[in-house]
Amino acid sequence: MNDSDGTVYLDHAATTPMVPEAIAAMAEQMAITGNASSLHASGRAARRTVEEARELIAERFGARPSEVVFCSGGTEANNLAIKGLYWSRLAQDSARHRIVFSSIEHHALLDPVTWLAKHEGAEVEMTPVDKQGRILVDALRAAVEREPSSVSAVTTMWANNEMGTIQPIADVVEIARAHGIPVHSDAVQAAGYVPLDFAASGLDAMTVTAHKLGGPVGVGALIIRREIDATPLLHGGGQERDLRSGTVSVPLIAAFAKAVDVTIARQAETVERIETLRRRLVEGVVRVVPDAIVNGDPEPGPDHRLPNIAHVTFPGCEGDAMLMLLDAQGIECSTGSACAAGVPQPSHVLLAMGYDDTAARGSLRFSLGHTSTEADVDRLLEALPAVRQRALRASLVRSGS
């Protein structure tokens, strides 16, 4: 809950509040002047802060410090990964014009892949998913093995941001590695909730970002193996292995590292507590709205789904209407749908899972985090029946029924 105004915040998968330790680290560095690329004492002090943060983040995610490339967040890291791998591989071999990716990727990955198809001539192939939102491994294998020499990269998110469904990353890596194809994973939602070990995963690149972990918005990292060539998006001073030029933000990076340190140290305890809250939420929703449908993998655990996301379809309702009605009562959540020119668009994730347009537009995502409480869940459950009835009536009026 947001104690300052009584708001119930159930949108932690969008961004979660900063932990106090990260706020303190950021404030401390904001009072200090120093460009980490400068050679004088202030610059060296700033560089030391950045490198200590890099070492900590690398250690917590099972990587080498030299593999951590700081970016402005998950979107930039995903763009650098997929465009950088595509351009680099294509320059080495003009036959490598294909990208294989999952049909449930976040728009931060989906859109750059689509851009490469439209502007750079890439051939893109989406891996289908099952009813729980998990990729079909046999379909991925078939896509890769049909013509492996033409694939520049494979990318599959670690955990879906709408469903929370965890993907079979080990299987993806095994399929691609057999043909020498680099693999990237967007681990933005998974970080902090499931154990991430970059070296053990076999991945070539992995995206993480601070603001899903209790850090600030505006900083993240692409963890990418030293042996992997990637073409940079930005050119300039050659910072960050010459993969991401630009003066690094020492305060943001220091806060990022502190958030990673604190969140991962508390991960086991947090996951257990939040899983209990999620169970209370899901069981309560089904009790007060009996025809509600809980989507995704019902089984908890690092091979099944994240502990903090509950995605629910409310038949006959528009998710956007329910969201605004809840918001009016101080309860904040999200839909998976997008809005174009004022017209709600169905979630591409639910469509990929086999839902029709109506069901895909009639869903809400409730996501919990480190500040969530039983009182938050109970407030939602108290408000939900009346909100659902109002949204249902509004939908009937719009349809003329």
Positions marked catalytic: 339
Residue 206 C-alpha from the chain's centroid: 11
Rounded CA-CA distance 9/338 in Å is 20
Residue 179 C-alpha from the chain's centroid: 27
Q: What is the dihedral of CA 269, 270, 276, 279, to 10 degrees?
A: -140
Q: Which amino acid is at 7?
A: T
Rounded CA-CA distance 357/334 in Å is 17
195 φ, ψ to 5°? Answer: -65, 130
DSSP letter at 106 equals: -
Token digits of residue 206: 């992995």
Gyration radius from the chain CA atoms? 22
Residue 92, burial from CB neighbour count under 10 angstroms (0-12, 13-18, 19+): exposed
Q: Identify the CA nearest to 155 among candidates 98, 74, 100, 83.
A: 100
Residue 230, burial from CB neighbour count under 10 angstroms (0-12, 13-18, 19+): buried
Rounded CA-CA distance 144/140 in Å is 6
Long-range contacts of 53-59, Cβ-Cβ distance < 8 Å, separation of 24 or more: 53/253, 53/254, 53/256, 53/257, 54/253, 54/257, 56/257, 56/260, 56/261, 57/221, 57/256, 57/257, 57/260, 58/223
